[in-house]
Amino acid sequence: MNPILATDGYKTSHIKMYPQNITKVYSNYTCRSTKRMPNKVDDIVVFGIQYMCKYINDLWNAEFFKKDKNIVCNEAKEYLCSYLGTEYDISHFEKLHDLGYLPIQIKALPEGCIVKEGIPIFTIVNTHPDFFWVTNFLETLISTIIWKPVHSASIAFAYKKLLLRYAKETDKNNVGFVDFQGHDFSFRGMQSVESAISSGMGFLTSFRGTDTIPALQSVKYYYESINVGFSVPASEHSVMCAHGKEGEIDTLRYLMKQYPNGILSVVSDTWNLWKLITEYLSALKSEIMARDGKLVIRPDSGDPVDIICGRTFVEVDDVNDLYFSDSPSVVYCKKSDLFYETNPYDDGHKTRFNLKRLLPQEIKGVIELLWDIFGGTINEQGYKVLDPHIGAIYGDSITLERAEQICERLKAKGFASTNIVLGIGSYSMGYATRDSQGGAVKSTYVELEEAFLPTPESIEYGIRTIGREIFKDPITDDGTKKSAKGLLCVKEVLVPDELGKLHHSTYKLIDQCTPEEEQGGALSTVFLNGKLVKRFTLDEIRERLSKNHKI
């Protein structure tokens, strides 16, 4: 891909629209609003800047600077002349090729820190006066690369906080398990392979479980880290179907022989989840308990909260009583000794009910059924923990809201939240756009050169640089799009905990800074004139994310 063409079409005309005497354009990337984030997730994880810098620099080096100038620039000219319907001047691209590198400086917050909306996470400015146009010419690439890893890292962090909170409440001696309690299932549902990779890297800032293998390769390349994500052998429906429905118990036995050690995950609802658990697992109990590892049951359909946790119900003497009372969603009828889902409807005269019979297994749910068969221990907080030879994972349509409901329902039933692993897929990681956090590149400061002539007070004359603070504040907007103004500084502020000790960092924006003030603060140079000058490993990012924020 010719990087000259990797921009929004209107960017190609801006070089002639800026003031003729402009020499510097200073911009920033800020997540302006989290109002569109699910479950009011307002923590923004700074992540992906190193990935963005290396990606863009690699692209420009490989596809522009290292290619023949005439070939690459004339290719752009051919497209742009046709596209814009004019004789497009490519002299500025030719001059950039002669320079041999991207003349920009990017200053960023440390990756792994947390900011709120309205705080710039990095700034970008040209370092050569002839290439003022480069700053915002790169905006399109910057935006399309950075918003996804920031969003996914933020969502993963929200899951991590949620799961840690419940682990501490129900299984405090096993909180380390939370690193693997969230597992990235999103690859197949993402918009592209690159989207899956950038999101998958963001997910790995909080968790170590992933099925997005390309993210591991990318973490190695962009963050110089290995052994950052893991998974286990796991079956899919085609495997179960290939063995035949009638021999499903033999399929389970066969899979355990294929993988006699370690964790083995088996999709369990190809046909009848409840039969597989109550009949087949019961029959295989001695073999499962003798196995050197954990067999993990994976339901894959239905309401995840109900499947995992079971259903709450109200006892009634007779279902006919429902015609004369407010209806709970599930009832146990003493007269028939059966459970029913009530499904009320109005027939035009009064409320009636479509009664759907529920199995006792549906009332208990997966975790309680596994406990009934395999047992386990009761920890010091009084919560049940399944025997280590058996477990469960659910990975269909998990959301933050459902994850909280699952943890809360398990807790209410006396089970530790750590009894379940959640496969977090594109339902959480893919339902997003740049607007989810309002990420945007905006210019706040420019410099121009102007001539000055002798005055009565001075005989000096020449060229001087004039700084101009710029900003946008649309009268038709609700304030979200109002930008900062001038040069920017982001200050780190330490926040005390309940004991008064300085515990974690928060960040404050100061705009309209002097050049000297802009040099201070928490933003530090990570990229300068075609070179990455500061690097973070994923381990460092994970440590910062955990250390600086009480989770």
Question: 10-40: per-residue pLDDT in tens?
Answer: 999 999 999 999 999 999 999 999 999 999 8
Cα dihedral 179, 177, 272, 314, rounded to 10, equals -110
Helix (H, G, I), strand (E, B), or coil: what is residue 8?
coil
Reading the block at residue 322, the tokens are 């429902």
Asked whether residue 497 carries a pLDDT value surpassing 70, the answer given is no
Reading the block at residue 431, the tokens are 């339902």
Q: How confident is the model at residue 162 (pLDDT cuts 50, 70, 90)?
A: very high
Query: Distance of alpha carbon 84 from its chain centroid, rounded?
Result: 37
Rounded average pLDDT over 264-285: 98
Rounded average pLDDT over 525-548: 95
> Comparing 174 with 550, which gets the higher pLDDT?
174
pLDDT at site 325 = 58
Reading the block at residue 232, the tokens are 């286990």
pLDDT at site 399 = 97
Reading the block at residue 282, the tokens are 């019961």
Rounded average pLDDT over 538-545: 96
Q: What is the Cβ-side half-sphere exposure of residue 261, based on CA atoms within 13 angstroms?
A: 0
Number of other residues whose CB lies within 10 A of the CB of residue 250: 12
Q: How confident is the model at residue 320 (pLDDT cuts 50, 70, 90)?
A: confident
Q: How confident is the model at residue 346 (pLDDT cuts 50, 70, 90)?
A: confident
Cα dihedral 326, 329, 330, 335, rounded to 10, equals 30
- The rounded distance, in Å, linking the Cα atoms of 403 and 151 is 18
Residue 50 backbone dihedrals phi, psi, to 5 degrees: -65, -40
Can you give the residue ranges of every domain in the chain? 304-358
- The rounded distance, in Å, linking the Cα atoms of 267 and 278 is 15
Asked whether residue 462 carries a pLDDT value surpassing 90, the answer given is no
Q: How confident is the model at residue 169 (pLDDT cuts 50, 70, 90)?
A: very high
Asked whether residue 502 carries a pLDDT value surpassing 60, the answer given is no
Question: Taking Cα atoms as reference points, which of 58, 25, 115, 104 lies closest to residue 507?
Answer: 115
Q: Quick one: residue 500, left, alpha or beta (phi over 0 = left, psi -120 to 50 = alpha)?
A: left
Q: What is the mean pLDDT of the chain?
A: 94
Q: What percent of the chain has pLDDT over 70?
A: 96
Residue 325 CB partners (closer than 8 Å, separation 6+)? none
Reading the block at residue 503, the tokens are 């515990």
- The rounded distance, in Å, linking the Cα atoms of 490 and 46 is 13
- The rounded distance, in Å, linking the Cα atoms of 463 and 529 is 25
Q: Distance between the two ends of the chain, CA-based, in angstroms?
A: 42
| C-alpha pair distances (Å), 172 with each of 169, 322, 392, 418 | 6, 43, 19, 10
Residue 327 backbone dihedrals phi, psi, to 5 degrees: -100, 125
Rounded average pLDDT over 339-344: 90
Asked whether residue 148 carries a pLDDT value surpassing 90, the answer given is yes
pLDDT at site 256 = 98
Asked whether residue 456 carries a pLDDT value surpassing 80, the answer given is no
Q: What percent of the chain has pLDDT over 90?
A: 87
Rounded average pLDDT over 503-528: 93
Reading the block at residue 517, the tokens are 């003030």
pLDDT at site 451 = 81
pLDDT at site 328 = 77
- The rounded distance, in Å, linking the Cα atoms of 404 and 259 is 33
pLDDT at site 495 = 78
DSSP class of 380:
T
pLDDT at site 321 = 77
Q: What pTM, to 2 d.p., does this model score?
A: 0.95
Asked whether residue 51 carries a pLDDT value surpassing 80, the answer given is yes
**Residue positions counted in the chain:** 551
Q: How confident is the model at residue 551 (pLDDT cuts 50, 70, 90)?
A: low
